[in-house]
Structure 1
Amino acid sequence: MQEPQVILVDQYDQEIGAMGKLQAHVEGKLHRAFSIFLFNENGDLILQQRALSKYHSGGLWTNTCCSHPAPGEFIEDAVQRRLQEELGINAPVDRVGEVLYKAKFGNGLTEHEYDYVFVGQYSGSFAPNAEEVEQLKFISINDLEKWLEDQPEDFTAWFPLCLDIVKRNLETKAIA
């Protein structure tokens, strides 16, 4: 089976090519990604603990779902594809921002992403893919902020950056 490809981009998210996903992480190449934050009807965030076997950040807590669009795939289509592949669900989402970040991992890999952040609501059941997801947890933003402050090492490198975008979006909606 051929390795999945990611979309290489410049700092302005202009496509400049494609590369195998693992190779992009070995070389630290900037590529397009997305992070999805789903909330239940009580306003609790659905957190995902990444499968222990993941190629990086295994066992760490992060947003509900995240991945990369494939070359030629609209990001909105990729979001729905990954929600189905990782969690067995479909959920409407809205794009609320982007963040560019770079994080090096102890295993020699580097995550360098132009990450689109999506927010939505979902209150149904899940069918998590064990190759992707260790477990799911529902948590209030207040409890999450305390956990992040007390034990930041429990979370993926991109999670706090994306969470800040989500919180700003939620504050804006509360004001409106």
Structure 2
Amino acid sequence: MPATTTRNRSVPTVSGVEQVVLLDEDGAAVGTADKSGVHGPDTPLHLAFSCYLFDADGRLLVTRRAFGKTTWPGVRTNTCCGHPGPGEPIDAAVHRRLASELGVHGVTLELVLPRFRYRAVMADGTVEHELCPVFRGVLTGPVAVPEPDPTEVAECWWQPWAEFVAAADPRGDGAADPLSPWGQVQVAELTALGPDPLHWPVGDAAALPPAARLAV
């Protein structure tokens, strides 16, 4: 996938309600659901993304999810996650969330894990179930001073990648400050790409789930 630069995009909605794209087992779109009600004990497979944002020195912007979030409130995680809306290119959705959650602009995006998928269950039975391509973002200018949306992000900080990896405790949710369940798996797959995040190979856009290929 070619590198892309920031584009300002509003949240795609239907009658003012944000929606997510539902998927079949092959990653093709089979419908939509209201984002506000999609997560529960029987969460259907749906399209999402994760982004790991780095500065020129390879430091990662780490975030802590807001404590009012429905899924994994207060958990330490990667820079941002989200859901492309129906008909929204996935790269545009990443830029949208970086801007709306963190006030970050001026980012070059590249796909690194085109077929990442996970399913995780919270202690209360709430399920997250996503096909979630992973992107590397790199700031194209000076280090950003994030302006987090407190309804999405409780706090954020820049951390060397090696330190972040070391803190991805293999005990998972049993750790004192656990990393998100998707983050635990993603870190293992990302470190397999090499120790320097700025030199990870770019993933094959043709391997994206069919529903995400609007960005190609």
Q: Distance in 2 between matches of 1:150 and 1:32?
A: 26
What does 1:109-120 correspond to in 2, within 5 Å?
109-120=126-137
Which ranges of structure 1 fall in alignment gaps of 5 or more residues? none
1:145 aligned residue: 165
What does 1:8-47 correspond to in 2, within 5 Å?
8-26=22-40, 27-47=42-62
Q: Is the 8 A contact 1:96 1:165 kept in 2?
A: no
2:12 aligned residue: none
Q: Is the 8 A contact 1:36 1:119 kept in 2?
A: yes
1:49 aligned residue: 64
- Structure in which a larger fraction of residues adopt helix: 1
Q: Is the 8 A contact 1:11 1:114 kept in 2?
A: no
1:96 aligned residue: 112
Cα offset, 1:171, TM superposition: 4.7
Q: Aligned residue pairs: how many?
A: 175
What SS is found at the alignment partner of 2:132?
strand
- Structure in which a larger fraction of residues adopt strand: 1
Cα offset, 1:174, TM superposition: 6.7
Q: Distance in 1 between matches of 2:171 and 2:160?
A: 16
Q: Distance in 1 between matches of 2:194 and 2:146?
A: 24
Letter in 1 for 2:35: K
TM-score, structure 2 normalization = 0.74
2:186 aligned residue: 162
2:98 aligned residue: 83
Identity over aligned pairs, percent: 30
Q: Is the 8 A contact 1:99 1:161 kept in 2?
A: no
TM-score, structure 1 normalization = 0.90
Which ranges of structure 2 fall in alignment gaps of 5 or more residues? 1-14, 202-216
